[in-house]
Amino acid sequence: MTESEEGKCEKMGKVKKRGSVLVFTGAAAVVAITANLAITAFKYRKEKNAKKKDLAGSKVRVNLSASEILKLADQIIANSNKVHNSIASVPLDKVTYANVISPLAELQAQQFPLIQSCVFPKLVSTREDVRKASAEAEQRIDAHLDACSKREDVYLVIKAFAVRGEWMNAEAKHFVQILVRDFERNGLNLTASKREELQRIRAQIDELSFKYIQNLNDDSKFLLFNEAELAGLPPDFLKGLDKSENGKLKIFLRSHHVAAVLEFCKVGTTRRSVSGAYGNRCGEINVSILESLVQQRHKYARLLGYSCYAEYAIGVRMAKTPKKVFEFLKDMSTSLTDLAVKELDVLKDLKKKEEGEFPFGIEDLPYYVKRVEEQGYDLDFGDIKQYLPISVVLSGIFKIIQDLFGLRFEEIAGADVWHCDVRVFSVFDLGSSELLGYCYLDLFSREGKYGHTCVLALQNSALTISGARQIPVGLLISQCQKDADGSSGLLRFSEVVSLFHEFGHVVQQICNRASFSRISGLCVDPDFVEIPAQLLENWCYESYSLKLISGFHQAREMLGLPILEGTNPASYFPSVVIGYEAVCYSRIWSEVFAADIFTSKFCNDVSNQHAGMQFRSKVLTPSGVKGPLEVLSDFLGRKPSIEAYIRAK
């Protein structure tokens, strides 16, 4: 998967597109109302589908009809309004934790899984009417949450509480500070006229961003090639392609098609035209949209008192300041330039040998990186694919996660799902058998399904008013291809890497034990959220794990594989993702710190359970009260550093 795609999916699932789902600004559940809501929802499904099992402790509702989705969205909004109004009505001198903060936290915890129940079918439902209803529901909910985030009455009440500083504990304090910060980043502490201007600019930014994203999503362009032009691509990939009337094969400008062409296609001109067209999807979007966006963002940041948009965007992240980011990038590039030049020379030579005197472009990277590895180690990646049936990869991943982090996955038969391919797992603590959470896997690509790979939080860890802990629920969406005969598919190595990565997110979501939904699981510092996922990628380069995931074909040696360590399966497509402005460094930032963790704790013993359990308890489980740097330092026993990454390269 590519950097840009992932950035996007994380926007959607975690930080959520246009900040909607996770930017809860308000609202506290009058518990009874939410409970009612849940009960109504529950009845619905019981009547309709009595055989399906409900997952104890999960409020997530799956396979809703279009009308159920819209109805639920309206209920969510009505309930949220009620709670917000009730909080706002508390006189400023009467604010307490119990009448302001607690109801708000409860609302967020309760409504999150319901909101996600409305929103995620847009990505995965097999029915067009459901996907449409889901998108419509998302718009309504977005608009509502947006309005909540601008409620001055609610802000004043929360601010009054924060100023009094009667904290329950450190985590509650952190939570309240985040609430205040969210409001103030929306300009709620500015004068009325400035705030108006800010909101006007925000509306323009949203509209421009929306247009930009819509243009990309609406792009269903494809290129046509004959088989000779696609030489090198695996036969089963070719078999799966649609054909045009004149028998040519369609390569859609979607990541899984484009990635396969760039990795496998021997024909330089094909790689170039696909890469060019893919890159162009963004170029085509009127550049003026981007130009206006940059201007509006700058104005926005200035109004809020920041010197530039980068300062505004980075201020809430692990890196903290643009200066720190520039230093980081400079250090990295100084240390890696020589190496990069050498590596590039090797690739250029190889291209000259294979294709003659053509210039080497970025579109040649994936293919020739792969060729160099094949040559050096006498491997054929087409063959390796034979070794990686998805079922074997999955059980390998489960085994690694179990051995490292002490988590046991157990499949639930007969759970409610939206497609018969979807599988549901309970996740238990291996030692105590405590149920930690649930995980849905929707692995195979199909018509109408979201075209990228990502993890969505469906329900977050939270401590409810009753004192019970709400358990997390996650959903992994990927694009594996099924075999032509409909049986379980085989995975390319890069797809295996991508699954490991996504399972890192799943583990983080499931292990987290935060008390507040707003700061739980994947709703953490975006510079930090990629670290566990990047870390887990390392295990698929290790012979240890390859033995597990290729157990089925162990007869043949796979000696060469550990060399893949240090190869970078990440992005080859430098396309601009709108939500990534000013924070493009983030991917490499998390990669660097993941490398540090791997090198210092697991490199010599990839099955180091002690380190795995420490990582779980010190990094994954905590609530985010401590900053990411502190958490990592606590785990490493020193400050994180870029040395390990440089050395590994």
Residues making contact with ligand NAG (CB under 6 A): 63, 65, 184, 189-190, 286-288, 305, 417-420
CB atoms within 10 A of CB 272: 17
Binding mask 5-24 for Zn ion (x = CB under 5 A): -x------------------
Q: Quick one: what does residue 85 bind among ligand NAG, Zn ion, none, with the CB cut-off 5 to 8 Å set by partner type?
A: none
Q: Quick one: what does residue 65 bind among Zn ion, ligand NAG, none, with the CB cut-off 5 to 8 Å set by partner type?
A: ligand NAG
Q: Quick one: what does residue 276 bind among Zn ion, ligand NAG, none, with the CB cut-off 5 to 8 Å set by partner type?
A: none
Q: Is 540 in the site for Zn ion (CB under 5 A)?
A: no
User: Nearest distance from residue 508's CB to Zn ion, in Å?
Assistant: 10
Q: For ligand NAG, give the closer residue by CB, 176 or 535.
A: 176
Q: For ligand NAG, give the closer residue by CB, 51 or 342.
A: 51
Q: Do 490 and 389 meet the contact criterion of CB atoms below 8 Å apart? A: yes
Q: Do 274 and 251 meet the contact criterion of CB atoms below 8 Å apart? A: yes
User: Nearest distance from residue 295's CB to ligand NAG, in Å?
Assistant: 14
CA distance 100 to 279: 49
Q: For Zn ion, give the closer residue by CB, 529 or 548.
A: 529
Q: Which of the residues 90 through 109 are near Zn ion (CB under 5 A)?
A: none
User: Nearest distance from residue 286's CB to ligand NAG, in Å?
Assistant: 4
Euclidean distance between the first and final Cα of the chain, in Å?
21
Q: What is the DSSP letter of 248?
A: P
Long-range CB pairs of 201-210 (<8 Å, 24+ gap) are 201/296, 201/299, 201/300, 201/303, 202/300, 204/292, 204/296, 205/293, 205/296, 205/297, 205/300, 206/18, 208/289, 208/292, 208/293, 208/296, 209/18, 209/293, 209/578, 209/579, 210/18
From 129-137, 162-170, 313-321, 529-537, give the range in contact with Zn ion by CB under 5 A. 529-537
Select from 549, 539, 545 the least CA-distant residue to 598: 539
Q: Quick one: what does residue 309 bind among ligand NAG, Zn ion, none, with the CB cut-off 5 to 8 Å set by partner type?
A: none
Q: For ligand NAG, give the closer residue by CB, 305 or 562.
A: 305
CA distance 194 to 188: 10
Instruction: Look at strands 469-470 and 473-480 and give their pairing.
Output: unpaired
Active site residue 502: yes
Q: For ligand NAG, give the closer residue by CB, 417 or 603.
A: 417
Q: Quick one: what does residue 442 bind among ligand NAG, Zn ion, none, with the CB cut-off 5 to 8 Å set by partner type?
A: none
State which residue has the least CB distance to Zn ion: 533
CB atoms within 10 A of CB 169: 11
CA distance 578 to 210: 9
Q: What is the DSSP letter of 307?
A: S
Written in H, E and C, the secondary structure of 238-254 is: HHCCCECCCCCEEEECC
Q: For Zn ion, give the closer residue by CB, 10 or 171.
A: 10
Q: Do 55 and 411 meet the contact criterion of CB atoms below 8 Å apart? A: no
Q: Quick one: what does residue 562 bind among Zn ion, ligand NAG, none, with the CB cut-off 5 to 8 Å set by partner type?
A: none
E strands in 511-640: none
Q: Quick one: what does residue 643 bind among ligand NAG, Zn ion, none, with the CB cut-off 5 to 8 Å set by partner type?
A: none
User: Nearest distance from residue 398's CB to ligand NAG, in Å?
Assistant: 23
User: Nearest distance from residue 180's CB to ligand NAG, in Å?
Assistant: 7
Q: Is 533 in the site for Zn ion (CB under 5 A)?
A: yes
Q: Token pair for residue 530?
A: 């990629």
Q: For ligand NAG, give the closer residue by CB, 286 or 554.
A: 286
User: Nearest distance from residue 640's CB to Zn ion, in Å?
Assistant: 18
User: Nearest distance from residue 205's CB to ligand NAG, in Å?
Assistant: 18
Query: Look-up: residue for tokens 């201020």?
Result: 315
Q: Is 477 in the site for Zn ion (CB under 5 A)?
A: no
Q: Do 444 and 489 meet the contact criterion of CB atoms below 8 Å apart? A: yes
Angle between helices 390-405 and 493-511 (to 10 degrees): 40
The single residue of 3, 68, 373, 502 carrying the catalytic annotation is 502
Q: Kindly list the catalytic residues.
A: 502
Q: Which residues bind Zn ion (CB under 5 A)?
A: 6, 533
